[in-house]
Amino acid sequence: MSDQHIASAYDRDLEGVQARIMKMGGLVEQAILEASQALEDRDEELAEKVRAGDRVIDDLEELIQEEAARIIALRQPAAGDLRIVLSILKIAGNLERIGDYAKNMAKRTSVLVQMQPIAGAHTALRRMAREVEAMLRDALDAYIQRDPVLAQDVINRDRDVDQMYNALFREFLTFMMEDPRNITACMHLHFIAKNTERMGDHVTSIAEQVVYLVTGSAPEETRQKGDKTSTDIGVAPDAPLRGDA
């Protein structure tokens, strides 16, 4: 088999697995938007659609892992090409976690619809989720275009998501102090807010992979987190709802 034929086969393999990454990214974007819409509209049917759709995202990640492993084993890519394959694996892992957080938002929506709504909270959470989805869309565009400038812009925007989370955290504390009957709903809403903030962290990780892929080194400045709340609300921010991932 000629070297040219081998290179052509490798390129096809790489194009195929990168196409799956983009498909997975599109499904995750949709899950974020639909989960946040279901929360704002108190739409249990849409929330259930998001929960069911997470299986497809998980299956795609498994397929990407298998294909990437096969490329490494059969093609034995050189340093630059190996960096592409390793980045694909890391991006797929980040996308899978974002999908899990969207699914968990949908699960908590099914609980929250049984409770008295907290004024303004659902709209604020949807705005935060939309910002994360926009960041993800740009991070994936940066990956396809091999654009480190756009990727760095995504990294910088994570601070805005952190600030949205901090504002919501303080708001939920105020609602709970004003009326103890709000505590349960606010706890669920806090978990959703914290999970959305963590979606932003995973999107940022994807953008950092783009910078590494193009430049061969990690972003120059260590990212400073804008989340100053830690777990002051009294329980771990990702404490599971029954059936959470």
The tokens describing 154, both together, are 């995504």
Question: What pLDDT is recorded for position 225?
Answer: 60
Measured distance CA(45)–CA(38) in Å, rounded: 8
**Per-residue pLDDT tens for 151-182?**
999 999 999 999 999 999 999 999 999 999 99
Q: Looking at per-residue confidence, does 57 or 77 come out higher?
A: 57
Higher pLDDT, 157 or 216: 157
The per-residue pLDDT for 179 is: 94
Assign domain 3-215 to its CATH architecture: Up-down Bundle (1.20)
16-45 pLDDT tens trace:
999 999 999 999 999 999 999 999 999 999
Res 128: pLDDT: 97
Cα distance between residue 195 and residue 198, in whole Å: 5
Write out the two tokens for 240: 């599971």
pLDDT at 96 over 90: yes
The domain ranges of the chain are 3-215
Q: What average pLDDT score do residues 197-216 get? A: 95
Burial class (CB in 10 A: 0-12, 13-18, 19+), 77: middle
Residues 113-136: pLDDT tens digits?
Answer: 999 999 999 999 999 999 999 999
Please state which of the ranges 7-11, 87-91, 181-185 shows the lowest mean pLDDT. 7-11
